[in-house]
Every structure is written in structure tokens, then in C-alpha cells.
């Protein structure tokens, strides 16, 4: 975005502030200044008027002119094609230095004396405006012959280029930047008295606008008849400074007002519309099936709002009846439509897609003020009414201070926001703020605070030392992380290494072993081997163990804590570990107890064919089933080149968590006693276990089976050996104590289950 100091000064008083200070203020408010270029006309370049202009007698491309500079008339030979009688021009007098030591001296050109130089804009240090000399008019101020051009502020202007971010479309205009400066400098914007000469017949005599459907835009139309519309010097000079190319006079005025106001203006040759017998055109506005708001005339599209206009309706130098369209559409809407439908855009799309000025009447007032002296403007604007819902943001007074880290006076908050165009209502302890349409980037209270901070200036907020106040921050996520860390550390402490694998699996492989599979397949799998979400970690651990075995590892201990998925795609965490090598069921059971603590094992039949049906058990914690433990089937072990391999998989959410309460322990030695009972072949150990829990005395601290023996000699029975661990808290057990405890066990099992010692 390019602005000039003097153009800004028309909207806000900058007379007592240097351009460097303006740039500093813009930078502090978030409008990053890319460059500052100062244009200064050298002393000795004065206003002159061409009072004679004749061809050079000996050179076809030269003209001999007489130029009045007030106190004298100079004869100057000029080679510019556009020099002519009656022009006000810039004259470099004798002795004037035009940069890099180029001094104007008396000279003879093809035998004709020349006493000065009629200059182009670039020759006197200004931006280049054309290929010829600079032709002046009173748009830069009253032209006094012989007056130094260095005394005309509108010529000796400073050009400021601002690098705007995409969300600051509100500053894509002179007025928008001035509005920001008014907040930064705490100065009021200037008001203008618009000169508007309107025809009383009104726009209705020429135009009717028919809206067929609800649309996402606001439109206003202005109609005028052009008499003689001439682009003055200041208009063309400023358009060149901001990088615009000159066109016909109507388009130049439109470009000027668009850059100044920020209102999107498009201009049409009215005579190219189809009209009725009264020369009255009907325009139809509607939203098409692709979501784009379009304006039609006699079935033909004349504009796609915010995107482009039909070039067949453009104006030219000969156009006399002119229709001007002012439009506003939200930048998010027009951007999405453009990319969705791959539509063509014109040069104004850049402004509409980043955010334009929503006060369309403001743009028309500036335009009418500019053209009224040379055009007939029909009073009133034909317009569409679309009630956009302006964003309402409520901000607590305390939130602003706590967010910034400093108390901000309420009146300052209100003043800043109002100068930026926000409507503010203060209700005791909070602000109710209505966000203007041209600030579509402001969505929430954090954005509001950002506006306040950037205007106050981050450097103006007092620095404070960091203050740490320690407090306990506990939540469910923290507890989960703590629990994961605890069980991982327990597994590592038992010699296990962590395995990490994808949450994907092979669908056919899971079905082969009888595992459930999810209801939906992955649309774009990583590869054909990982074509579904896993419902178990067992297969991932099995493959990892196989790779370790093939690499020479004889004992393999791996664990994985990760997610699996149910058939309905709901996820759950599993804690699984595998033990492979010259090991037994008792080894992995011992590891299980060491990792998860006290738990019960109950033999069961596996639901999948991956496991050996004779070495398989469900795991219970506090009578709640939490998972299983079992040996891999012999055929599967061979397939994966593994020796005795056992897997345990647990529901992680059901494992114990929280504070572990320590229990006192005995300092006296424990004693062990094994008893072998004859048990019916069809009786499971769980039955015996349940009875023992009821009858064992307090000095039996634990018990567990150590051996099972079957033989034809036992006549339909089997022998189960149970080891009992006995210990007292306050003494060493005597033989009598042990004997009494064992008698209680024997009598209890005999009474309740009919079991005898072998």
C-alpha cells in the first residue's frame, strides 16, 4: 500500500510531525513501513507560462518557445513533443543545479539561443509522469509566475510504502491509514464539506435495480452525464506516485477515489446497456447456483460482485452516460468463491478479497465532490439492502488489564476503539464492542486486546520482572501421563524394552486368527500390509519378537502401550508385553505381578486361535476382568521362528492408578509349606482358590499352585500342589504355629470341597 504525506494530511493534521515520526508510528502500530522516498524540487525551478511556441527553423523535432516567468520572458528551445502555447510549465532557470552537478547554462541549439530548460517531472526530482514535459494546473495550488516549485507542498511530497499483512484490508486506502494514525496520534480525523451538484430528477429516470434472491453483498449505483471531465495534474501525479496507470478521464477519477476511500468502485458505459423506450435500464441482481452474486442486464452478466466486470461494458474517452457501481462483500466469501469456482478476476479483486470499505455512500460522496464541476449527477443512489450481522464482542475490563499486564484506563480503551471505527458501549465492568464490517479480521476478545496494544504501542507498556507463583496443576491428562510413565517404568524395571508400532494392521491376518476387525477400511492405506486399524497389539509384538529372534536374540522381552480400536471405531488403550525364549507360564505371570501388582489369574479357553488353549488365563484386578495372559500356539511359534512365547494384553484404563499406600512388613523370617491335594480331574484351581481365601488364617500371607500332576493311578483325580507362605508380624513362627495353620487349611478344604491330602 502506497500513501503520501500530503494526501494523508487531507484527512488528519500532520503539519507538526515529521515523515520519519509518521513511519515510526506506523511501524509501532503493526503497519510495517517498507520505504520512505522524499521528493524535493531544486531551488531555481519556477512556474512559467508558454506564451509563444514555434518550430525551430533548423530542427523539426525542436520548438522555440517564449516562457513568462513573472519578472522576465525567457527564450527556451524545447524538444518535448507535448509543449504548446498557454501551458503552465516547470522552468529551470540559469544557474539551477538539477542533481549530480548538472547546471543549467545559457546555450545555443542549432544556432538559436536558449536561456533555461522546460522540465519533465523526473528531471526535477519528482516521479516520472509521462514522456514529455510536466504540464501544471492550479490543482497543486495557485500558480504564480516565477514562484519556486519547491514552495508547493503537494509537489514536494513524501511517498511512504507500507507492507500490509493479508488481514489488514482496512488499510488499503488513504483514509484507512489515516484512520489508524488518528488512533495512534490521538487526533481526530478531518471532516469534509462535499461539493455535490445533483440533478433533481434522480437516478430512477435512468436505472431500476431488481434483486431476485438473497445475496451476500451490498451494492449502490450512481448515474451521471459527463460534459467535460478532465484529469487534473494533481490527480495524475498522485496516481503515478501510488503506482496506478493512467487511462481515460473517467477511469482516472474512479481509481483516485478508490485508492483514497477504500470503496470498491466499478464504472460502466450506460449506453451499452439494453434499455426500454424511455432509455431506462433494468439490472437484475441474483445469487447463481455456484454461489456467486451476479448482476445481469437483459440476460447478460455485467459483473460478478467482488471478482470482475464484463469488459464489453467498460467506458472510454467518448462515453458520456456513466454508471458507477460501489460494492462490498466479505473477503472470506469472495475468496472461497473464487478458488471453488476457479473464476477470473480483475485488478480490484485484490482489495475485495482482503477487505474493503463498507461505507459505500462515503465513496460516492468523494466521487461526486471530484466530478460535480464537470458532470451532472442524478440525485440519490439505487441500492440493495442486505443486513450483515456485525460481530459483537464482549470484553471484561479485568481481562484487558490481565492480558496486557498493565491497567489500561477505560476512557483510553473507548477512545482507541472508536477512532478505529468500532462502536463501543461500556457497561460498568465490561465493554460491548460492535466490530465494523471492514474489520473482518477481528473475531474475539483477544483480537480486541491486540488492537488496543498495537495502538498504545508495545514499547509503551512498562516491563515487569517475571513472577512465578507455584501452584498444583492437576488434570485428567496429567494423571494419564503420570500413569503411563509409571507402568512403562515398571516394565523397564522387569527387563522389558519398549516397542512402538503403527496403529494399523493387516485385516486378513487378524481375521485368520479370529480377532475382531473394524467396520470400515482405510481409504488410502500406507501399504497393502497395513490396510486397517488394529484391534489388538498382539500381532505387532509377535512380529517385533520374530525380528529380534532372527537377529540372534535368545531372550526377548518387549512391551507396548498404545491404542487399539473396537469394531465401531472407538479407541481404547492397551498395555501389552511379550516374553519369548526358554521361559514358562510362571515366568510371565511373575512379571505380570511385578508390573501391575496384586491380581488374580483364572484359567480359560482363548477366543482366538493365536493362543495355546492349555496355557491361557484371564487376568482380574479386584474381581474386574482387565485382560488375558497366554502362550502363543505352537504352530504360530514355528511360523515366526520363536521359542516358548507368552503374551499378556491388558486394558490400560482398568489398571490401578493414583497414590500407592505402603504397608508395614514383618522383620521375621517367612516359612513355606507345600501341600498336595487329590482333586477331581474336572475341578479348576479357581474353585480351590476361592475357598482358601475364606479359610486361611492371618499368618498365611500368600499361597499359590506350584505343580499339577495326573496319572492313571489316581483313578480320575489329579494332584495339585499348593505352596503356603507363613509369617507373623511380631515373632518367628514355631512348628506348632505352622502345624495349626495347615490343619485349618486341610480341614477347611475337606469340609467344603471333600479334598484329601495325596
Instruction: Give yes or no: residues 531 and 511 share one domain.
Output: yes
Residue 322 lies in a domain: yes
Instruction: Give yes or no: residues 634 and 699 share one domain.
Output: no
Mean pLDDT comparison of 83-92, 402-411, 470-479, highest-scoring range: 83-92
CA 111 to chain centroid: 71
Residue 381's pLDDT is 64
Confidence of residue 651 (pLDDT cuts 50, 70, 90): very high
Instruction: Give yes or no: residues 147 and 180 share one domain.
Output: no
Asked if residues 517 and 509 have their Cβ atoms less than 8 Å apart, the reply is: no
Task: Write the CATH number for 209.
Answer: 3.50.40.10
Q: How many CB atoms lie within 10 A of CB 746?
A: 15
Domain final residue, candidates 102, 135, 156: 156
Asked if residues 615 and 630 have their Cβ atoms less than 8 Å apart, the reply is: yes
Residue 386's pLDDT is 67
Residue 191 lies in a domain: no
In Å, how far are 45, 68, 105, 107, 115 from 94, measured between CA atoms? 10, 14, 5, 10, 7
Please give the DSSP secondary-structure letter assigned to residue 386.
Answer: -
Instruction: Give yes or no: residues 368 and 253 share one domain.
Output: yes
Give a three-class secondary structure readout of 258-281. HHHHCCEEEEEEHHHCCECCCCCE
Domain final residue, candidates 383, 415, 441: 383
Is residue 738 pLDDT above 90, yes or no? yes
Instruction: Give yes or no: residues 406 and 372 share one domain.
Output: no
Instruction: Give yes or no: residues 536 and 606 share one domain.
Output: yes
Confidence of residue 707 (pLDDT cuts 50, 70, 90): confident
Q: Which of 592, 584, 651, 649 is nearest to 614 (CA)?
A: 584
Task: Write the CATH number for 625.
Answer: 3.30.930.10
pTM above 0.75, yes or no: no
Please give the DSSP secondary-structure letter assigned to residue 540.
Answer: H
What three-state secondary structure class fits 22? helix
Residue 173 lies in a domain: yes
- What's the grid cell of residue 296? 445481469
Helix count (H) and strand count (E) of the chain?
Answer: 18, 38
Structural domain total, the chain: 6
Instruction: Give kind and range of the element (H or E) at residue 335.
Output: helix 331-341
Instruction: Give yes or no: residues 751 and 618 share one domain.
Output: no
- What's the grid cell of residue 304? 460478478
Residue 385's pLDDT is 62
Instruction: Give yes or no: residues 288 and 354 share one domain.
Output: yes
**Could you tell me the residue range of the domain that residue 251 belongs to?**
198-383
What three-state secondary structure class fits 420? coil
Residue 461 lies in a domain: no
Instruction: Give yes or no: residues 591 and 505 share one domain.
Output: yes
C-alpha–C-alpha distance, residues 66 and 76, integer Å: 6
C-alpha–C-alpha distance, residues 642 and 210, integer Å: 81
| Mean pLDDT of the chain, nearest integer | 90
C-alpha–C-alpha distance, residues 58 and 64, integer Å: 11
Q: Which of 291, 294, 299 is nearest to 341 (CA)?
A: 291
Mean pLDDT to the nearest integer, 127-136: 91
Instruction: Dump pLDDT digits (tens) for 485-498.
Output: 999 999 999 999 99
Residue 706 lies in a domain: yes
Task: Write the CATH number for 739.
Answer: 3.30.70.380
Instruction: Dump pLDDT digits (tens) for 535-586.
Output: 999 999 999 999 999 999 999 999 999 999 999 889 999 999 999 998 899 8
Task: Write the CATH number for 20.
Answer: 3.30.56.10
Confidence of residue 209 (pLDDT cuts 50, 70, 90): confident
Mean pLDDT comparison of 5-9, 99-103, 439-443, highest-scoring range: 5-9
Confidence of residue 199 (pLDDT cuts 50, 70, 90): low
Give a three-class secondary structure readout of 501-525. CCCEECHHHHHHCCCCCCCCCCCCC
What three-state secondary structure class fits 283? strand
Backbone angles phi, psi at 631, to 5 degrees: -90, 145
C-alpha–C-alpha distance, residues 93 and 385, integer Å: 59
Instruction: Give yes or no: residues 149 and 283 share one domain.
Output: no
Domain final residue, candidates 654, 686, 712: 654
Placement of cell 442524478 in the chain: 378
Q: Which of 320, 330, 377, 385 is nearest to 353 (CA)?
A: 330
Residue 463 lies in a domain: no
499 Cβ neighbours under 8 A, 6+ residues apart: 540, 541, 544, 558, 559, 560
Residue 724's pLDDT is 93
Instruction: Give yes or no: residues 339 and 486 share one domain.
Output: no
Residue 469 lies in a domain: no
Residue 30 lies in a domain: yes
Mean pLDDT to the nearest integer, 657-685: 87
Instruction: Give yes or no: residues 163 and 77 share one domain.
Output: no
Placement of cell 516565477 in the chain: 146
Residue 523's pLDDT is 81
- Residue 674, judged by CB atoms within 10 A of its CB (0-12, 13-18, 19+), counts as exposed
Amino acid at each position: 500500500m502506497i500513501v503520501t504525506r500530503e494526501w494523508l494530511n487531507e484527512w488528519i493534521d500532520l503539519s507538526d510531525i515529521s515523515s520519519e515520526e509518521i513511519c515510526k508510528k506506523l511501524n509501532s502500530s503493526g503497519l510495517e513501513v517498507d520505504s520512505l522516498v522524499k521528493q524535493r524540487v531544486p531551488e531555481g525551478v519556477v512556474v512559467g507560462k508558454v506564451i509563444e511556441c514555434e518550430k525551430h527553423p533548423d530542427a523539426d523535432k525542436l520548438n522555440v518557445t517564449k516562457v513568462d516567468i513573472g519578472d522576465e520572458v525567457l527564450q527556451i528551445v524545447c524538444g518535448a513533443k507535448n509543449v504548446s502555447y498557454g501551458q503552465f510549465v516547470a522552468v529551470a532557470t540559469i544557474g539551477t543545479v538539477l542533481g549530480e552537478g548538472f547546471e543549467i547554462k545559457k546555450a545555443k541549439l542549432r544556432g538559436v539561443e536558449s536561456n533555461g530548460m522546460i522540465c519533465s517531472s523526473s528531471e526535477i526530482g519528482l516521479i516520472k509522469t509521462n514522456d514529455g514535459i510536466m504540464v501544471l494546473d492550479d490543482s497543486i495550488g495557485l500558480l504564480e509566475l516565477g514562484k519556486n516549485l519547491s514552495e508547493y507542498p503537494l509537489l514536494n511530497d513524501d511517498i511512504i510504502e507500507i507492507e500490509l499483512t493479508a488481514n489488514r484490508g482496512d488499510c488499503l486506502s488513504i483514509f484507512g491509514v489515516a484512520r489508524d494514525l488518528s488512533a495512534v496520534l490521538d487526533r481526530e480525523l478531518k471532516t469534509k464539506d462535499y461539493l455535490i451538484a445533483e440533478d433533481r430528477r434522480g437516478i430512477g429516470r435512468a436505472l431500476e435495480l431488481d434483486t431476485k434472491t438473497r445475496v451476500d453483498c451490498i451494492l449502490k449505483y450512481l448515474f451521471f452525464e459527463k460534459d467535460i471531465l478532465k484529469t487534473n495534474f494533481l490527480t495524475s501525479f498522485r496516481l503515478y506516485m501510488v503506482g496506478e496507470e493512467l487511462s481515460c478521464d473517467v477511469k482516472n477519477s474512479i481509481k483516485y477515489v478508490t485508492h483514497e476511500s477504500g470503496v470498491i468502485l466499478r464504472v460502466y458505459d450506460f449506453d451499452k446497456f439494453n434499455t426500454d423506450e424511455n432509455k431506462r435500464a433494468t439490472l437484475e441482481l441474483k445469487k447463481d447456483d455456484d454461489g456467486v452474486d451476479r448482476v445481469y442486464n437483459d440476460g447478460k452478466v455485467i459483473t460478478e460482485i467482488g471478482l470482475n466486470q464484463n469488459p464489453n461494458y467498460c467506458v472510454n474517452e467518448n462515453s458520456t452516460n456513466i454508471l458507477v457501481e460501489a460494492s462490498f462483500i466479505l473477503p472470506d466469501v469472495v475468496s472461497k468463491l473464487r478458488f471453488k469456482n476457479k473464476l477470473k478476476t480483475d485488478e480490484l479483486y485484490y482489495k475485495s478479497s482482503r477487505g474493503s470499505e463498507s461505507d459505500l455512500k462515503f465513496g460516492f460522496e468523494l466521487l461526486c465532490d471530484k466530478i460535480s464541476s464537470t458532470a451532472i449527477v442524478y440525485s440519490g443512489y439505487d441500492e440493495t439492502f442486505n443486513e450483515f450481522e456485525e460481530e459483537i464482542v464482549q470484553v471484561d475490563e479485568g481481562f484487558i488489564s490481565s492480558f496486557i499486564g498493565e491497567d489500561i484506563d477505560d476512557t483510553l480503551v473507548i477512545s482507541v476503539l472508536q477512532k478505529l471505527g468500532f462502536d463501543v458501549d461500556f457497561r460498568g465492568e465490561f465493554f460491548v464492542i460492535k466490530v465494523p464490517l471492514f474489520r473482518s479480521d477481528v473475531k474475539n476478545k483477544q483480537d480486541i486486546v491486540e488492537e488496543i496494544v498495537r495502538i498504545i504501542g508495545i514499547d509503551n507498556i512498562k516491563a515487569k520482572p517475571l513472577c512465578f507463583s507455584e501452584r498444583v496443576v492437576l488434570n485428567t491428562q496429567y494423571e494419564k501421563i503420570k500413569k503411563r510413565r509409571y507402568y512403562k517404568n515398571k516394565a523397564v524395571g522387569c527387563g522389558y524394552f519398549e516397542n512402538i508400532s503403527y496403529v494399523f494392521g493387516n485385516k486378513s491376518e487378524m481375521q485368520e486368527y479370529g480377532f475382531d476387525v473394524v467396520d470400515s477400511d482405510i481409504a488410502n492405506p500406507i501399504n497393502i500390509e497395513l490396510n486397517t486399524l488394529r484391534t489388538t497389539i498382539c500381532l505387532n509384538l509377535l512380529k517385533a519378537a520374530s525380528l529380534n529372534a532372527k537377529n540372534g536374540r535368545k531372550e526377548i522381552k518387549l512391551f507396548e502401550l498404545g491404542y487399539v480400536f473396537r469394531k465401531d471405531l472407538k479407541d481404547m488403550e492397551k498395555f501389552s508385553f511379550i516374553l519369548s525364549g526358554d521361559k514358562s507360564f510362571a515366568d510371565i505371570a511373575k512379571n505380570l505381578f511385578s508390573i501391575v501388582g496384586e491380581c488374580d489369574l483364572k484359567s480359560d479357553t482363548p477366543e482366538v486361535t493365536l493362543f495355546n488353549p492349555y496355557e491361557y488365563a484371564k487376568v482380574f484386578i479386584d474381581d474386574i476382568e482387565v485382560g488375558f495372559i497366554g502362550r502363543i500356539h505352537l504352530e504360530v511359534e514355528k511360523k515366526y521362528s520363536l521359542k516358548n512365547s507368552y503374551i499378556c494384553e491388558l486394558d490400560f484404563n482398568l489398571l490401578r492408578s493414583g497414590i500407592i499406600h505402603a504397608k508395614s512388613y514383618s522383620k521375621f523370617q517367612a516359612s513355606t509349606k507345600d501341600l498336595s491335594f487329590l482333586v477331581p480331574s474336572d475341578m479348576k484351581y479357581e474353585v480351590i482358590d476361592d475357598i482358601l481365601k475364606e479359610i486361611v488364617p492371618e499368618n498365611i500371607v500368600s499361597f499359590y499352585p506350584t505343580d499339577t500332576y495326573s496319572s492313571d493311578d489316581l483313578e480320575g483325580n489329579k494332584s495339585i500342589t499348593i505352596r503356603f507362605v507363613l509369617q507373623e508380624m511380631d515373632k518367628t513362627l514355631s512348628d506348632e504355629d505352622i502345624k495349626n495353620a495347615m490343619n485349618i487349611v486341610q480341614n477347611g478344604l475337606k469340609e467344603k470341597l471333600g479334598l484329601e491330602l495325596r
